[in-house]
Amino acid sequence: MTAPPKNRDPLKPVLMLLLATVAWGVSFPLMKTVLLLQHQLAPAASEWLLTAQSLAVRFGLAALVLAGLSWRRRRRIGRPEWKLGFGLGLLNGGGMIFQMTGLGSTRASTSAFLTSAFVVIIPVGLAIRRRKWPSWALAGSCALVVAGLSVLSRVDWRQFHLGTGEQLTLLSAVIFSGAILWLDRPEFAAADKFAGTVIMFATTAALFLPALLWTWSDCGVIYRSIPVWVVLAGLVGLCTVTAFTLMNVWQPHLAPTHAGLIYCAEPVFASVCALGLPAWLARLGHVDYANETMTASLLIGGSLITLANVLAQFDR
């Protein structure tokens, strides 16, 4: 791994990735609202198939939107752009499908906690590859994040066990770690990140295209709903096009371990969004979706994760 590209403002990549995690945090209530609307409009359809087809629509539209926005930046798309986008698309889609499948047989809080295991997987993998122990600041940051996530997710260690759902969720964390490390490969340093992101979106959409075709008759009912399109617009514009473009453009300016720590702020922002956004979305779509309440676990867990990101800035 080569050193990250030089940047005159070292805090700018951190802020851009934090902005991406804010957008991903918003995606949780938006995606849940879409699923509630889908179940309301197509109650007999498979939950897994509905989720998969919604991902196909979300990432397919994102590919079209970003291709249209970046057409003036077009240049010859070479092997680096294809390889970057295809790899990220496969890893992104693979991680999502294992995460969703595992979520069906485990608690949501446990799934959120295990998905963020990449914060430990990445530095361990790099330590093995480099044959060098992580710095004290990085090791301390990882420990704080693990503690913060366990508090935030309210994991009940007395009921915790590695069943099928937990194992699939851990596998998704390994795949998401691969996506972070894939973006860090030196061969992609000069690649057009916008073109690579368009290819990434198209690849992820293609992975879930069979589910879209299988549920085509249900989609005819679902996508006649105006609330579905309003929520989907937020998912595509903010949570997909904006968030993943920020990730792919700015993550190479940081070490992958630092990026992983920043991404762990996602459940904090998701919890904050859940304090007020669900009730508004419930009124929009006429679904049963209540706001969550401020808890001590959110304050303590969020503070520990924030402290971990501050501590990571001392690691050079």
Q: Which H, E and C letters describe 3-52, residue by residue?
A: CCCCCCCCHHHHHHHHHHHHHHHHHHHHHHHHHHHHHHHCCCCCHHHHHH
pLDDT, position 1:
41
Confidence of residue 234 (pLDDT cuts 50, 70, 90): very high
Say if residues 115 and 270 touch (Cβ distance below 8 Å).
Answer: no
Of 6-10, 37-41, 276-280, least confident by mean pLDDT is: 6-10
Distance CA 41, CA 281 (A): 16
Indicate the range of 102-116, 259-273, 281-295 predicted with least confidence. 102-116
* 311 or 255: which leads in pLDDT: 255
Is residue 2 exposed (0-12), middle (13-18) or buried (19+ Cβ within 10 Å)? exposed
Would you say 33 and 280 are in contact if contact means Cβ atoms under 8 Å apart?
Answer: no
pLDDT of residue 16: 94
Q: Are 201 and 125 in contact (CB under 8 A)?
A: no
Q: Rounded to the nearest 5 degrees, what angle is found at the Cα of 182, between the Cα atoms of 177 and 187?
A: 160
* pLDDT above 60 (res 159): yes
pTM over 0.85: no
Give buried/exposed letters for 242-268 (b at 16+ CB in 10 A, else e). Answer: bbbbbbbbbbbbbbbbbbbbbbbbbbb
Which residue type occupies 168? L
226 confidence band (pLDDT: 50, 70, 90): very high
CA angle 118, 292, 144 (to 5 degrees): 30
pLDDT at residue number 7: 54
